Structure 1
Amino acid sequence: MDPHLVVCVRLVLSAAILMTVCLVTMRDQLKSILTNRNALIDLVLYGVFGCFGCQFTYIMSIAINTAGIATLMEQLGSVVVIGYACLMERRLPRKRELTAIVLGTVGMTLICTQGDLSGLALSPQGLFWGVLSMVTLAAYVLLPTYLMKKWNGVAVTAPSIMVGAVAALIFLHPVGSAFPADLGAIAGILGSVFLGVVLPYPLFLRGLREAGPVVAGLLTGIEPVAALAFTTVLLGTAVTGFDAAGAFFIVVMLAVVALPDKPRRLMRGPSFGSSSPDDGVLDEGPSL
């Protein structure tokens, strides 16, 4: 199935479902966020570069690499977030952050080179989309920090995904793509919509409230391991020892990133539409 069509269908259906939920259960919050000028700026940026960008680059990375490798590379977006925080605060990485950067770099090197530093095991296209997915995941995590402080997570996510869906239809223009009519393809798309977009974000926010940022952040480290295991067991994708070792380093990196220096504070993220420099405490964020 055309990756462009997959992205468009996922975003359009997810936007329709979540917007319906918002209109029925949290109409006042939705009206509040849509009538706030600063929030609208953040909403558009988050929708285009976060929701659409993260979905598009991740799906393209899966199409060229594998789901497991694509997920592992995407999770290295935490390193991009650390680099951004250091740049904005005009400081060098702290010990914990430097440890995470080293672990992530080692993990990615093992996966990309398979232990042979003289060349790449991934194709140039696979590496390109993998790295781009890291950047868009960082955008997905950083851009909504101001919004998440003031509004319900679903009220933020629904219009943002709607913006992302519009961006996907404009930039990807999947009009000529044929949608598979078999039940397996339809079930796969619906499963990816509910299990990949509609359910994970609200569930993560609930876990964040119930268990706290440290435990919730640590649990996100299960995702790349699960993706690698499922693609191996269910799809028969070959996994090398270097892939497994790289996955180990990246999961340890995620654990290091999730452990805060101070209670309830991992790092700070600015608002892109708000005039206040103190808006937005970044705990952790899930992948779409």
Structure 2
Amino acid sequence: MKTYRYVGLLMIISGATLWGISGPMIQWLFQNSSLTSGKFLVVRLLLAGIITLAILYFTKKNIFGVWKHPRQWIQLIIFGVLGMLGAQYAFIETIHVSTAVTAVLFQFLGPILITIYVAIQTKKMPTVIQLLAVVAALVGTFFLITNGSVENIVLSKKAIILGLLTTLGFTFYTLHPASLIKEWGTIVIIGWGMLIGGIVLFIYNQDFSVMHLAHTLTFNTLSMLLLVIISGTLSFILYIGSLKYLSATETSLLSSIEPLVAAVVSIVWLNESFGIYQLIGGFFITATVVFLSIPSKGARKK
């Protein structure tokens, strides 16, 4: 029991770190190329989905079984369009119109909705540890995004709307695929989710052209695009895979290190400023991980 918990903790922390790093990478890509959010996501989702499913197929995994059950493939399509594509598109667009740190912080508001949903579903109040984690995370994200003053929040109406959609998308893709993952496995569901999302976006983006994309990218931007695809795919697999070992509340709250990672990388690499209150925010976000790493009394007894 303890070993499984540690595996889950390692998976979510690794996945959150990769996702935190990918935000500044995407921001750099937009700053150094003419890629739009839609074209970027078409490439990212299609390539990641095809590669993931191809690896599973050649390792003799059953990747088509889910399509034999109407109720499950309907769930899968909903996950691919609203969960995978919806969350990523809102996230990427938020980066495009603001910054990587802002996008990650809006995403992190999702755990609040998840905690409320789980509490209502189970008809149980969150534990003291979970409540402390929520408080620490909220305080941390407030300081991180405002540097101690609400007046420092300067977001356009579009950024706020896209940010809120990112929050909803994050909540949905955390909760919706749980039964599918239990039946078919994490990587199968993630692979199909990415491929479905990529196909839908490709159909929507009728002006998408591989030739135009090839002329747009340089060696550096192409390399960055591939790194973003790899890191983003791994982060999704690790994040949702951790749901096998941890509760949805724990998994979503442990992802609180994402804004901290994104902020640190943005400072070191993209030369963004970082104030004393933001450092305090980073401390509180780290405290969230510490709180949720402590097993509850029930888990210790088991």
> Normalising by the residue count of structure 2, what TM-score does the alignment of the two structures yield?
0.73
The DSSP-based 3-state class of the residue aligned with 2:52 is: helix
The answer to whether the 8 A contact 2:186-2:241 is kept is no
**Which residue identity is paired with 2:201?**
A
The answer to whether the 8 A contact 1:69-1:228 is kept is no
C-alpha separation in 1, matches of 2:120 and 2:274: 36
With 7-16 and 29-38 compared, the bigger mean Cα shift is at 29-38
The DSSP-based 3-state class of the residue aligned with 1:30 is: coil
Q: Aligned to 1:2, which of 27, 32, 36?
A: 36
The answer to whether the 8 A contact 2:174-2:240 is kept is no
Question: What displacement does 1:157 show?
Answer: 1.4
The answer to whether the 8 A contact 2:53-2:63 is kept is no
C-alpha separation in 1, matches of 2:79 and 2:294: 26
The answer to whether the 8 A contact 1:112-1:120 is kept is yes
Match of 2:4 in 1: none
**Which residue identity is paired with 1:36?**
H
Match of 2:261 in 1: 226
Match of 1:36 in 2: 69
Unaligned runs of 5+ in 1: 265-288
Match of 2:223 in 1: 187
Question: What displacement does 1:56 show?
Answer: 0.9
C-alpha separation in 2, matches of 1:223 and 1:83: 21
**Which residue identity is paired with 1:187?**
S
The answer to whether the 8 A contact 1:154-1:202 is kept is yes
**Which residue identity is paired with 1:52?**
L
128 and 235 in structure 1: CA distance in 2 versus 1, 3 angstrom threshold: same
C-alpha separation in 1, matches of 2:294 and 2:42: 35
Question: What displacement does 1:81 show?
Answer: 0.9
**Which residue identity is paired with 1:189?**
L
Match of 1:139 in 2: 172
The DSSP-based 3-state class of the residue aligned with 1:234 is: helix
Question: What displacement does 1:143 show?
Answer: 1.0
C-alpha separation in 1, matches of 2:254 and 2:142: 24
Does structure 1 residue 17 correspond to structure 2 residue 51? yes
Q: Aligned to 1:122, which of 155, 177, 189?
A: 155
C-alpha separation in 1, matches of 2:278 and 2:98: 12
**Which residue identity is paired with 1:13?**
L
Question: What displacement does 1:200 show?
Answer: 3.0
Question: What displacement does 1:102 show?
Answer: 2.7
The answer to whether the 8 A contact 2:87-2:166 is kept is yes
With 42-51 and 238-247 compared, the bigger mean Cα shift is at 238-247
Q: Aligned to 2:235, which of 195, 200, 205?
A: 200
Match of 2:288 in 1: 253
Equivalent runs, 1:104-119 vs 2, <5 Å: 104-117=137-150
The DSSP-based 3-state class of the residue aligned with 2:142 is: helix
The answer to whether the 8 A contact 1:76-1:250 is kept is no
The answer to whether the 8 A contact 1:114-1:242 is kept is yes
Q: What do residues 221-272 of structure 1 show as CA deviations (whole Å, max 9, x unaligned)?
A: 54432222111111112223333333333343354456554439xxxxxxxx
Relative contact order, higher structure (CA 8 A, sep 6+):
2
Q: How many residues are aligned here?
A: 259
Equivalent runs, 1:95-110 vs 2, <5 Å: 95-110=128-143
The answer to whether the 8 A contact 2:254-2:288 is kept is no
Question: What displacement does 1:96 show?
Answer: 3.3
Match of 2:6 in 1: none
